[in-house]
Structure 1
Amino acid sequence: MLLKQFKTDGLAHFSYLIGAGDNAAVIDPQLDVELYLAAAQAAGVQIRHIFETHRNEDFISGAAHLARLTGAEVYHGPNPAGPVQYAQTVTEGFSVDVGQLTLKVLETPGHTDDSISIAIFDTAYPDGAVGVFTGDALFIGDVGRTDFYPHRAEEVAGLLFDSLQKLLGLGDQTILYPAHGAGSVCGSGMAEREFSTLGHERSNNPRLQISDRDAFISAKLEETHYQPPYFKLMERLNLDGGTPGQSGSQIPAASLNALQPPETDILLDLRPIEAHLARHIPGSRLLPVDMIAAFGGWFLEEDMRIGLVSQTADAAREAVKHLNRIGFQKIEGFTTGLLGKAASGTETDLIATADTNAVASRLAVSTENWTLLDVRSIEEFESGHIEGAEHVYVGDVLKDPARYLSDNGITVMCGSGARASLAASALKAAGQKGLDVYVGSIGAWRAADKPVTSDD
């Protein structure tokens, strides 16, 4: 038997290749499907089945592309948002054999209406399931979000409760294989661990400790989740079947002039945060490679022509993969060597920084002509914030920075300074004056034993 997990960095997405005998199935493939083909070839198996556990909101599925390359059948659950053009609809009890294994579909709605899980049975060990692919219904340490149908909020939360009971009925011995891990936007309390069983989750997962259906529904309704605008793009592309997009090797090096508006629609600065704050091209937007998946979808649009500023060609090519996975494929080129360009006369700008003493001094005087803007999630803010700070989620600033411009000065803060730097870059590009970033942010404030206010 072969079972291999693949993790997509940035998205914290898990996909799987499971095989036995001479054939195999892939569960929830990512867009760059070459890794499944290589793993199958190395194991001597042929990919004949592809399962999608649900309509993905946060990345383009690779199922349609993988099916074109392998001839495999794609299976998708009932009640999708629209016809899934490239997949066969399957319902409760549908199964396929993979060698001595049987993969059996369970309908597990709640996260989305079309959510399914795939239980793994081994004929050599007939006493119950040996594993289950749960998609976004059940995670390690958390359960799926249920906010995609706001007009049916109580109903879908109840559906998820019922689905979780069905999954737990497979038995404590069942190994859990979710579609996401810690860091994914699909849940907020996932464990850093990437292995578990249903028995362990039954005993330790906080949401599974709620045995009353109505109490579970109430708890889910109290959650706050953010939905980047690109989720709508993912919904559409995952009905039609996403295309693989550009490869990094196809992205040309180009002059800075060729990558700036009006030749492009936006110039992304992929370099580390400190480099952007110290020196950047005016109007460029900070988006380090490792933050593309989490935050690019808040302000990029499908048809945007994108230019890249990068430290290295390899970093630019890696960025192209991340951008493609979330639906942005019009990359015009990249440039490197910003310091050399500055030395030869290219105009650059900077974003100032502030430390704890500076912030404390400003607060001691007044906030009348100055704003301390906290861009963490609302849960983080309410659990402890600096008295006098205003809250706006970073995604909202990225999406519409002009809305938050002020005639007064703004200091942006978050948990450490990373998200604050993204927000400050957006505000700077939109024309904000008197702007700086609180480096260290709430972490530095707490480390200095400064008081915080809690809304709990």
Structure 2
Amino acid sequence: MLLEKIKTPGLSHLSYLIASGGKAAVIDPRRDCEIYVEKARAQGMEITHIFETHRNEDLVTGSPILAEMTGAKVYHGPNAAGEVAFAETARDGEKFDIGQLTIEALETPGHTDDHLAFVIHDNGYSDGPVGVFTGDALFVGDVGRTDFYPERKREVAGMLYDSLQKLLALGDQAIIYPAHGAGSVCGSGMAEREFSTIGHERRNNPRLRIDGRGAFIDAKIAEHHYQPPYFRLMERLNLEGANAAPRILRPRRLDLGTLRKDQSDHVIDIRDPMAYASGHFPGSMCLPVGMISAFAGWFIHEDQSIRLVASDEDQLSQAMSHLVRIGLDNVVGGYTGVVPAAANGVTMKSIPMISTGTVKERLDQNASDWTLLDVRDAGERAAASIEGSKHIYVGELNERWQELGKQHHYTVMCASGMRASVAAGWLASRGFEKLDIYLGSMGAWKSAHG
């Protein structure tokens, strides 16, 4: 037997390969799905089933591609917002044999209407299920968000509560295998570890410790979550099936002349934020390679073209992986060589980094032509903020930058300076020039002021 977790960096997406008796199933495959075939074949297993816990909002499914590669059938839950073109419908109680294992579908709506969990039974040990693939209903330390149906918010929160009771009824011995880990946009309170049981979550998960259905509903509708624009793209592609992406390669190499002449919609500098701040091509935005999954979908639309600027070829390859997984395939090419370009006389832009002392001085001066712009999320802002600062979440600057004056001076801050660099880079790409970044941001402020 085999049960292996495959983690997708950036998205904190967890998919699984489970196998027995020469047969294998994949749960929630990502778009670049050769990895599942390679792992199954290495174990002498044939992939015969593909299970989707729900229509994902944060990544493109690999199910139709994997089905074409293997001949396996794809199973998806009922009540999807449209027909899932590449899948058959699995319903509550339906069972699938994988060698000595039986996988049982369990309808668990709430996060989405079509949500399924898949319960693992070992037929050689019949006293309770071994585990359950919980999708986005139950995480380690948290439960799924319920904000995708705002007009039905109390109803769907109640549905999730009822679904969680079904999961808890599987027994404390059952191991849980969620679809996401800490860092995912699908939940804010997940534990750093990615292993747990129903029993441990029953005792320790804050959302499962809420007393009663009504209180649970109240708690869920009081949550605040952001919905990047690319969620709508993911939802559509995960109904239709995205174009195949069987192997991710680095983008076509661009020379300096082509880079500067090309008229792509976005030039994305994926280098370290300090490198970007020190010197970058005019008009380029800052999106470090490790932050592409979290923020590219806020600023880049499906039909827009992209040029990448990187430190090396490895960064370009990583960036392509992240972009393809969220359906942003239109990458014209990639360039490495910012420092040589500068040495050859190419004009570069820079964004200064400033310290806590400078921020404090400016706040004390209360100048009308300067604003401290806090781009953290609403929860962070509510927990602690600097008096006199203005708040716009970094992702929402995709449109709200138009509320800001290009002749005004902004110092951008977040928790450490990383998201502030993304925000400042976006503003710079929109033509803002009076910008600087608070290095250390809220962390530095707390260290200095307690």
- Give the TM-score normalised by structure 1: 0.97
The C-alpha deviation readout for 1:61-117, integer Å capped at 9, x for no partner, is 000000000000000000001100000011101110011110000000000000000
Query: Structure 1 residues 327 and 359 mapped into 2: Cα distance closer, same or farther (>3 Å)?
Result: same
Aligned counterparts, 1:248-397, within 5 A: 248-249=248-249, 251-260=251-260, 262-397=262-397
CA distance in 1, matches of 2:85, 2:245: 19
CA distance in 2, matches of 1:287, 1:369: 27
CA distance in 2, matches of 1:248, 1:21: 31
Q: After the TM superposition, which parts of structure 1 deviate over 4 Å for at least 4 consecutive aligned residues?
A: none
CA distance in 2, matches of 1:279, 1:246: 36
Q: After superposing the two structures, state which structure 1 stretch, 397-406 or 225-234, moved more.
A: 397-406
Residue 262 of structure 1 and its aligned partner are, at CA, apart by 4.9
Quote the RMSD (CA, aligned, Å): 1.2
Q: Name the % identity.
A: 54
Paired residue for 1:72? 72
Residue 397 of structure 1 and its aligned partner are, at CA, apart by 1.1
Aligned counterparts, 1:161-240, within 5 A: 161-240=161-240
Query: Structure 1 residues 246 and 68 mapped into 2: Cα distance closer, same or farther (>3 Å)?
Result: closer
Q: After superposing the two structures, state which structure 1 stretch, 37-46 or 359-368, moved more.
A: 359-368
Residue 368 of structure 1 and its aligned partner are, at CA, apart by 2.5
SS at 2:173 equivalent: coil
Paired residue for 2:414? 414
The C-alpha deviation readout for 1:206-243, integer Å capped at 9, x for no partner, is 00001310100000011000000000000110001122
Q: After superposing the two structures, state which structure 1 stretch, 382-391 or 242-251, moved more.
A: 242-251
CA distance in 2, matches of 1:433, 1:280: 13
Paired residue for 1:110? 110
Paired residue for 2:83? 83
**Match for 1:92: what amino acid?**
D
CA distance in 2, matches of 1:75, 1:362: 58
The C-alpha deviation readout for 1:22-52, integer Å capped at 9, x for no partner, is 1010000011111101110111110000000
CA distance in 2, matches of 1:183, 1:260: 35
**Match for 1:327: what amino acid?**
G
Residue 433 of structure 1 and its aligned partner are, at CA, apart by 2.8
Residue 401 of structure 1 and its aligned partner are, at CA, apart by 2.6
Q: After superposing the two structures, state which structure 1 stretch, 235-244 or 11-20, moved more.
A: 235-244
The C-alpha deviation readout for 1:305-336, integer Å capped at 9, x for no partner, is 11110111121011111100001111111111
**Match for 2:117: what amino acid?**
S
Paired residue for 2:132? 132
**Match for 1:53: what amino acid?**
T
- Is contact 2:55–2:114 with CA below 8 Å preserved after alignment? yes
Q: Does 1:23 align with 2:23?
A: yes
- Is contact 1:245–1:329 with CA below 8 Å preserved after alignment? no
Structure 2, unmatched stretches of 5+, are none
Residue 402 of structure 1 and its aligned partner are, at CA, apart by 3.0
Residue 449 of structure 1 and its aligned partner are, at CA, apart by 2.2
Paired residue for 1:432? 432
**Match for 2:80: what amino acid?**
P
Q: Does 1:40 align with 2:20?
A: no
CA distance in 2, matches of 1:102, 1:405: 61
**Match for 1:407: what amino acid?**
Q
CA distance in 2, matches of 1:294, 1:444: 24
Query: Structure 1 residues 186 and 270 mapped into 2: Cα distance closer, same or farther (>3 Å)?
Result: same
- Is contact 1:411–1:435 with CA below 8 Å preserved after alignment? yes
**Match for 1:62: what amino acid?**
G
Residue 337 of structure 1 and its aligned partner are, at CA, apart by 1.0
Query: Structure 1 residues 378 and 261 mapped into 2: Cα distance closer, same or farther (>3 Å)?
Result: farther
SS at 1:3 equivalent: strand
CA distance in 1, matches of 2:54, 2:449: 46
- Is contact 1:246–1:324 with CA below 8 Å preserved after alignment? no
**Match for 2:54: what amino acid?**
H
Paired residue for 2:445? 445
CA distance in 1, matches of 2:353, 2:291: 20
- Is contact 1:65–1:244 with CA below 8 Å preserved after alignment? yes
Aligned counterparts, 1:128-167, within 5 A: 128-167=128-167
Residue 254 of structure 1 and its aligned partner are, at CA, apart by 1.0
Residue 353 of structure 1 and its aligned partner are, at CA, apart by 1.2
Q: Does 1:54 align with 2:57?
A: no
SS at 2:373 equivalent: strand
CA distance in 1, matches of 2:398, 2:7: 27
The C-alpha deviation readout for 1:188-215, integer Å capped at 9, x for no partner, is 0000011000000000000000131010
Query: Structure 1 residues 391 and 42 mapped into 2: Cα distance closer, same or farther (>3 Å)?
Result: same
- Is contact 1:248–1:318 with CA below 8 Å preserved after alignment? no
- Is contact 2:416–2:441 with CA below 8 Å preserved after alignment? yes
- Is contact 2:250–2:313 with CA below 8 Å preserved after alignment? no
CA distance in 2, matches of 1:105, 1:248: 32
CA distance in 2, matches of 1:188, 1:320: 26
The C-alpha deviation readout for 1:353-401, integer Å capped at 9, x for no partner, is 1100000111111142211111101110110111111111010113443
SS at 2:207 equivalent: helix
CA distance in 2, matches of 1:121, 1:286: 48
Q: After superposing the two structures, state which structure 1 stretch, 173-182 or 255-264, moved more.
A: 255-264
Residue 250 of structure 1 and its aligned partner are, at CA, apart by 5.7
Paired residue for 2:93? 93
- Is contact 2:32–2:247 with CA below 8 Å preserved after alignment? no
Aligned length: 450
- Is contact 1:118–1:132 with CA below 8 Å preserved after alignment? yes
- Is contact 2:134–2:176 with CA below 8 Å preserved after alignment? yes
- Is contact 2:406–2:431 with CA below 8 Å preserved after alignment? no
- Is contact 2:7–2:15 with CA below 8 Å preserved after alignment? yes
